[in-house]
Amino acid sequence: MNGRLPMQYFLAHDMSYFDGEIAPVLARCRSRRSFACARTLCERLLPRAERFHAPYALPADIWLRLVLEGKPYDRRTWRLLAGEILIYAATEVPAIQVCPPTLLALVGQISTDGSKPQATAGLMANALFGHDDIRFGAFFYRPGSAGMNRCRETARIADYLVSLDPASWSANALLPFLESEDDCREELALARESVKDLAEFYSRACSSRQMVICESV
């Protein structure tokens, strides 16, 4: 089940900064078809980008820098710049490795034929993919590949994840997806570890009254 799945990233964000700074700036860029209004935000985030990449040098081709150097507007660059801003403005980017189909199967939110989750509003699905689409004003960011959980939803998910009992999960739930019982047991062990990390991350975000962005890359 881990085969060719995209990587799943989780980003904690201060909701007031997202609503008051990030979203309005990116909305203006898109509506005006210009990056001029993003220059101040890009300048503020450069030091964070440097810390994010430390101890290595900041790549010369990051979009923050290219925009500051006068990169002209186009929709693809807007999307890539938005992705960078979400990463560098995040208060936490934990290294959590998850396999969404595995976790969804173990909590009963995916059908046995491996299709999409049966209950896309389920709390595990929300924890992995977000409750809402990400929008900057009227403009959507990567619908279907990125979502967000605002503070209220983050709190509900934190409570849900903490309430789970991974020790009670059975490898048999994974038999429809994997080739052998050994694969099922190995995947189960990884799932138990990842859901523990995910619960701790959401609990930290909840305690700090932060929102969570989920993105598949």
92 pairs with which residues across the strands? Answer: 12
Residues 81 and 74: their CA atoms lie apart, in Å, by: 11
pLDDT of 130 > 90? The answer is yes
- Among 100, 106, 209, 196, CA closest to 153: 209
Token representation of residue 44? 């503020």
Name the token pair of 43.
Answer: 């300048």
What share of the chain has pLDDT > 70, as a percent? 92
Supply the pLDDT for residue 176: 84
Alpha helices in 130-167 (DSSP H): 151-163
pLDDT for 1 beyond 70: no
The confidence band for 45, taking pLDDT boundaries of 50, 70 and 90, is very high
Return the CA Rg of the chain.
19
pTM of the model: 0.90
Measure CA 44 to chain center: 22
pLDDT band at 60 (very low <50, low <70, confident <90, very high): confident
Of the options 3.40.1760.10, 3.40.50.300, 3.50.50.60, 3.60.15.10, the CATH number for the domain spanning 8-216: 3.40.1760.10
Which of 50, 176, 54, 22 lies closest to 106 in space, CA to CA? 176
Question: What pLDDT score was predicted for residue 55?
Answer: 86
Question: Could you state, in order of their start, the residue ranges of all structural domains in the chain?
Answer: 8-216
Predicted confidence (pLDDT) at residue 4 exceeds the cutoff of 70: no
Residue 164 and residue 199 in contact, taking contact as beta carbons nearer than 8 Å: yes
Query: Are the beta carbons of 167 and 183 closer than 8 angstroms?
Result: no
CA 207 from chain centre, in angstroms, equals: 18
